[in-house]
Structure 1
């Protein structure tokens, strides 16, 4: 069911009454399994539903000056296009990273429950503000940090966001990233990304095998990245 991780996520930012939780649990929805690289929405679309990420990862991206730029990753429980309730024209692509499962919830139902519940309106508004804070952090990460702390910050953020919804297992987590995905998110070349991963391994801060990342020294990794998770739980 699409509500499980979403409710876990919303509980971190606002209290939910049993009545409000029931509204989320009974959301009408259609489920779709996406292959790697398959689009959720495309730039220029006017969707009539919002997406809930159920499994896997989704990226927000756009081609800028002939280069693909990823500007956010979305984890289970996230609603990456919640803003389309009020800004209907999509100005970017949402794309599956690896295989993912999503649920589409009609705008009409979301507008109904938000009009009926001030608490849910508050929770979704806070969630939108947190997504904006994440976006600002990404801008600062790309603009101000050197390559190694930039990559370290991305790893720390994904780990923290997965931890919030119970998907960090003993400082290990699964990510279907290719090095090209990481390069597109960090504004680096694939060669540079490979070197930075090897450097993090050399420092014994992470282990990255296939699609599993282990945080071997989380405190030192967060110190290198200057990572402060408070922006994820404002």
Structure 2
């Protein structure tokens, strides 16, 4: 069901009442599955629905000066095109990375639901602001970091975002990306990405076999990446180790 990871995602960053969770559980939706590299939404398309990632990864991408540029990755629980509620034309292609399953929810239903619930309006507004914060971090990562910390930072971010929705297992996670995808996301050549990934392996920081990534020394990887999770704005459990974020169910905000 599409609401499960979406609710987990929202609970990781903001409070939701039981009534608002029930509203999300009852959303009418259409489930669609996509193959690797299949386009979910085309750049310039006028859309009348939002996409909830149920499983797999999506990316936001477009061709810039003849080169494909990935500007965002989306994991289960994300709503990558939430902004189309107010900006209806897609600015990028929304593409499936590996196999993925999404739920499509009409703009009309979302608008009615948000008008009826200040709590959900607050939650989705906050989610849009967090997506903008992630985008700013990506700009700074591409513009200011060398290749090694740049790629390390991407691994750290994906690890934390997957952890927030319960998809991290002892610092191991499923990653349906190729080195070409990393190159397109990090503004590097595939040769440079390959060398950098090999360096991270030689440093004993990661293992990457098939589509499984394991962080062997997460704290050190975060140090190499200069990674701080504050920009993800996750709610922390008070007794969690620094940098370890877990989803919690706080009291809903007072509206």
Q: For this structure pair, what is the TM-score category when the shorter chain's length is used for normalisation?
A: over 0.9
User: Superposition pairs for residues 37-186 of structure 1, below 5 Å?
Assistant: 37-186=37-186
Tell me, yes or no, if the aligned pair for 2:12 and 2:165 is still in contact at 8 Å.
Answer: no
Distance 2:218 2:14 in 1: 27
Tell me, yes or no, if the aligned pair for 2:49 and 2:107 is still in contact at 8 Å.
Answer: yes
Partner of 1:33: 33
Partner of 2:18: 18
Task: Report the secondary structure of 2:223's partner residue.
Answer: helix
User: Superposition pairs for residues 188-227 of structure 1, below 5 Å?
Assistant: 188-227=188-227
Runs of 5+ consecutive residues of structure 1 not aligned to the other structure = none
Q: CA deviation at 1:79?
A: 0.1
Q: CA deviation at 1:118?
A: 0.7
Distance 1:172 1:91 in 2: 33
Partner of 2:250: none
Task: Report the secondary structure of 1:53's partner residue.
Answer: strand
Distance 1:226 1:31 in 2: 38
Runs of 5+ consecutive residues of structure 2 not aligned to the other structure = 235-255
Q: CA deviation at 1:12?
A: 1.6
Q: CA deviation at 1:18?
A: 1.5
How large is the RMSD of aligned CA atoms in angstroms? 0.6
Q: CA deviation at 1:13?
A: 1.9
Q: CA deviation at 1:15?
A: 1.2
TM superposition score normalised by structure 2? 0.91
Distance 2:95 2:38 in 1: 6
Distance 1:13 1:118 in 2: 16
Q: CA deviation at 1:110?
A: 0.5
Q: CA deviation at 1:211?
A: 0.8
Task: Report the secondary structure of 2:7's partner residue.
Answer: helix
Task: Report the secondary structure of 2:130's partner residue.
Answer: helix
Q: CA deviation at 1:19?
A: 1.2
Task: Report the secondary structure of 1:204's partner residue.
Answer: coil
Distance 2:133 2:199 in 1: 29
Count of paired positions: 234
Q: CA deviation at 1:48?
A: 0.6
Task: Report the secondary structure of 2:28's partner residue.
Answer: coil
Distance 1:200 1:179 in 2: 14
TM superposition score normalised by structure 1? 0.99
